[in-house]
Chain A
């Protein structure tokens, strides 16, 4: 393992252990997801809603949960004044990929919980083609983490971080959201896996492009 890879893993582990120790993100995010789904259940009432709408709403919950949780990795460094500490320890690329890895794990775990709760409690949400849905959630989580991480790095350097985060993220994430919502809709209609291939291709290229671009520009954000 090269030194760089060890650095990346160490950055990930630092965030991971820090989270285990303080449990800020997990409890707050967990409550956020539960609360949001409860609100949706109450607003839909006993009637439910057409599958199209339910597919979209799932991703609304996921988007806002991501906005609550994925900025923490950079914002907490700024708030505690440890950004410079990290800059002294590893080159920018290692920090970026370490934190991207952390957001990836967080995103996948969070969305898995969200999906399970949503499927269990929201009336009328039915998935007929499980394979499409699972791939969509996985690729969607990865793509979310990819875009959300670089935006988190940007807003960590600005004032009014909390409100700025969704404002900057939404236009960037829109192609991804449209693709996964479409795929989810196909899954709920019982389409064949091949029919969602276009969406998956788009998602994969989106992930590659965003990660590459983010890694390239990261130093301009991270270093003063």
Chain B
């Protein structure tokens, strides 16, 4: 799914229970581009990432994702991959089955060879036939990366990218970020700016509105 992609946000506002989480958030990302979303706990980083993923709607303002196939909802979902502490895989299924259903529910054909390559890349190939329920938290995090990349998204959204990972896991993720940064849009939401080596833009949710 390659092709020029962009995310343009204008004056986004999010309200929960009539409390304003954030407002007047604007940015324009055209691939290749890297955005960091920073802010202390509770400042709304995960919320902003969910809005960018299309899972949550903004309470005000607009956000538009453009790219190949972005005219339809299904098309936009195909352009985006998300790794987040809030995202859970289907634990009764194996890693490989999760990847398979990830493609099937998107209506796409399953490329088994590519899936295996991804699982190898995140270091889960040897455990690919075990149900995710049996994984450690670090392994689950790695599985989420495979799940986020199986459909080759132009936009990769990472919320707390290094959560639960050991040194080896972190190195793998940094490589994934480098790849994504070169070819598409990378968005990283984190407290720890050391997670990201380089970035082009930054949205800080701590600063005023």
Contacts and interface: CB of A to CB of B under 8 A. Distances in A.
Q: Do A and B come from one complex?
A: yes
Q: Is the interface of B mostly helix, strand, loop or mixed?
A: loop
Contacts of A88: 53-55, 77, 80, 82, 87
Interface stretch (B103-111, B172-180, B198-206): B103-111
Interface stretch (B34-42, B89-97, B161-169): B89-97
Contact of B105 (A2, A10, A21): A10
A82 B106 contact: no
A4 interface: yes
B55 A84 contact: yes
A30 interface: no
Q: Is the interface of A mostly helix, strand, loop or mixed?
A: helix
Interface in B45-64: 50, 53-57
Interface stretch (A11-19, A145-153, A171-179): A11-19
B101 interface: yes
B88 A91 contact: no
A21 B92 contact: yes
Interface residues of B, number: 28
B28 interface: no
A85 B92 contact: no
A6 B77 contact: no
Given A87-B55, A91-B73, A80 B88 contact: yes
B32 interface: no
Contact of B104 (A5, A13, A81, A223): A13
A183 B56 CA distance: 45
A90 B92 contact: no
Interface of B: 50, 53-57, 72-74, 77, 80, 82, 84, 86-93, 101-102, 104-108
Interface of A: 2-7, 10-11, 13-14, 17-18, 21-22, 80-82, 84-91, 94, 223-224
